[in-house]
Chains A and B, each alone.
Chain A
Amino acid sequence: MRADGEALLEVRDLVKHYPLTRGILFKKQTGAVHAVDGVSFELRRGETLGIVGESGCGKSTVAKMLVHLERPTAGHIRYKGEDITRLSGRALKAVRRNIQMVFQDPYTSLNPRMTVGDIIGEPFDIHPEVAPKGDRRRKVRELLDVVGLNPEYINRYPHQFSGGQRQRIGIARGLALNPEIIICDEPVSALDVSVQAQVVNLLARLQQQFELSYVFIAHDLSVVRHISDRVAVMYLGKLAEVGTDVQIYDHPTHPYTQALLSAVPVPDPRARSERILLAGDVPSPAHPPSGCRFRTRCWKAQPKCTAEVPPLEIPEWFREPGGPAAHVSACHFAEERSVVPNETGA
């Protein structure tokens, strides 16, 4: 693991609430959607931090706050020690150059009326210091080549490309300004299996080549394990568990992580494991449960879970023995349980 790298990005107690209002002329706030409710993590140089969770858990909102597409309600984001949460103007522009984003849907995140050359070159309009005007076409061709597209395609439009190729265009745009960090929000979930592998391999290669750090957000747990050094599991606006890929996948201690992992269908008919079937649906983030957010669907819930919010820390009983179970987990009754079907003899 690359645990020794410096912390590039530090996120502390990040909160995003969307107000719910009533009335048209005299708007009155009647409540709030607690999309993200106190999330802390750090991203080290050269590493990939995977964030997993189901729809509505707030993972995409976290991504948007990291690139300043959403303004946090509270909390801090530090980039190389500097607080960038409330930056604006020139200072924000300088930081943004180093934190770029690749979006999920390669069909809607590219302007259909712009050529590929203009799409990939647009970041240079905003940051002309990176590539002087005369040099841009050459830069764009280079970028196309880097992401595995024919540089001759520079004058084509997005609709002339397949989904996988469009995602490569999105990645080239993300790379244009030589950023240090790329936030990838579900970058491969819209792609077919055979094309998904190509894009995952491309992202891994680019990370090596340009020493990039990734925040990789996805709901596909297998893809996240494949690409991530560390993984954070989110549920209803909070982090449930954070650890290395081995800690989270082979030694999960939070019941939600265990249920999530056990529900993933494994492409091997011999590897059937016991599936933890959760009751019901995720509660509305407008009215999150008190105490532990997962308690309404948890089979281990006790009165304590209603009364006290479990802190995200290494459970006391795992600290002494150490080992892979000793990682942060926000559960009052954390215990190790192996749920991923281990296929044998393949």
Chain B
Amino acid sequence: MTADEQPATLLDVRDLHVEFRTRDGVAKAVGGVSYTVEAGQTLAVLGESGSGKSVTAQAVMGILDSPPGFVTGGEVLFRGRDLLRMGEEQRRRVRGAELAMIFQDALSSLNPVMTVGAQLGEMFEVHQGMSRKDARARAVQLMERVRIPAAADRVRDYPHQFSGGMRQRIMIAMALALEPDLIIADEPTTALDVTVQAQVMDLLAELQREFNMGLILITHDLGVVADVADKIAVMYAGRIVETAPVHDLYAAPAHPYTRGLLASIPRLDRKGRELYAIKGLPPNLTDIPSGCPFNPRCPRARDICRTDRPPLFTVAPGRASACHFWKETLDEG
């Protein structure tokens, strides 16, 4: 892989804010998120439901439901160009060709009344002006590339005729079609069985290496993250609470929330006693606690946590934690 004349940083999200204006008030779904992804790198964005991990990705892709969702601040620099300031037409050209997305639920993301061949081929017809026949031939190639057996026959099948794992491969093929520089995969294997999940993750990692793509993997599964990510951003209540290279984070988390998450999953290699459980529930996004949003659930919370919002403190090069007591948390191991 020879280095292009491109800057190393593909995507640079800076202080992104997204809110949803609902009947029950304004929900601050994303409250100042920043991250970067480089070519060939995998960033895992980890969080539970409502943490803002998917909304951040939707804002980056420009597919936020608006209204009720609004980007209220920040920049999304893709190769130095701010996507948020682009016109819709320009953005559409970036989407697919340079930046693509894989969704969780392949069955509802694919068009049920179009054959998969037509859906894959459409990409080439629209973006590259190919003839229908050439586009169909490219579709077969793509399906072979993601190892769908008998691709030449199955190109005429409809999405419902494929199994869950095969449909997710078609989603991957679709994202890859125009050889984008960056792929955002939102829980790509959550709906799949574990043996099929292993096949799909394996394929995704292989293609990423081959095309030297950047990959943002959005997930709630700490196991999947440990397997494939280079670095990780943990989100809670719309903010990043910890970022770190993946090995460092698992060895010694620097935020009590990360620590709690790691302690609360049962292990495959031994039978534990009682599981550690983080007390309470994630906050309502229309009413995020003052100070540190995690303070009502945190075993370490003191007065300062209830009054002062912790910024992301630099813990080590490439590592940050939004906890006033990151040092103590880290020392605990």
Contact = CB atoms under 8 A, between A and B. Distances in A.
A joins B in a complex: yes
Interface of A: 54-55, 162-165, 192-198, 200-201, 204, 219, 221-223, 225-227, 245-246, 249, 259-261, 263-272, 275, 277-278, 280-282, 340-343
A198 B267 CA distance: 15
Given A192-B49, A197-B264, A280-B149, 19 more contacts: A163-B49, A192-B220, A192-B282, A193-B48, A194-B278, A194-B282, A201-B275, A226-B266, A265-B197, A265-B201, A266-B226, A266-B227, A267-B222, A267-B225, A267-B262, A268-B226, A269-B246, A271-B269, A277-B202
A261 B199 CA distance: 14
Contacts, number: 128
Given A264-B194, A277-B198, A204 B274 contact: yes
B266 A222 contact: yes
Nearest to A204: B274
Interface string B179-209: 0000000000000011111110110000000
A219 B250 contact: no
Contact of A200 (B149, B166, B250, B266): B266
B226 A269 contact: yes
Interface of B: 48-49, 149, 163-166, 193-199, 201-202, 220-227, 246-247, 250, 260-262, 264-269, 271-272, 274-278, 281-282
Given A193-B261, A281-B165, A281-B166, A266 B275 contact: no
Given A192-B48, A221-B194, A281-B163, A261 B281 contact: no
Contacts of B226: 265-269, 271
Contacts of B282: 192, 194
B194 A194 contact: no
Contacts of B163: 281
B267 A164 contact: no
Task: Report which residue of B194, B225, B226, B274 has the largest number of chain A beta carbons within 10 angstroms of its beta carbon.
Answer: B194
A15 B236 CA distance: 47
A275 B198 contact: yes
Q: Which of A221, A268, A280 has the most CB of B within 10 A?
A: A268
B260 A343 contact: no
B195 A193 contact: no
Nearest to A343: B269
Contact of A341 (B48, B262, B269, B275): B269
6 contacts: A54-B196, A222-B267, A226-B267, A260-B195, A265-B197, A265-B198
Nearest to B261: A193
Contacts of B221: 265
A193 B247 contact: no
A54 B224 contact: no
Which of the listed residues B224, B226, B272 has the most CB atoms from chain A within 10 Å of its own CB? B226
Contacts of B260: 194
Contacts of A162: 281
Nearest to A244: B271
A222 B262 CA distance: 13
A153 B220 CA distance: 30
Contacts of A260: 194-195
Contacts of B149: 280
Contacts of A164: 281
A270 B249 CA distance: 12
A29 B201 CA distance: 40
Contact of B227 (A221, A227, A272): A272
A300 to B, nearest CB: 16
A21 to B, nearest CB: 20
Contact of A221 (B197, B261, B268, B275): B268
B224 A55 contact: no
A192 B281 CA distance: 10
A249 B196 contact: no
Contacts of B223: 264-267
A93 B149 CA distance: 51
Contacts of A267: 222-223, 225-226, 250, 262, 265
A204 B274 CA distance: 8
B193 A198 contact: no
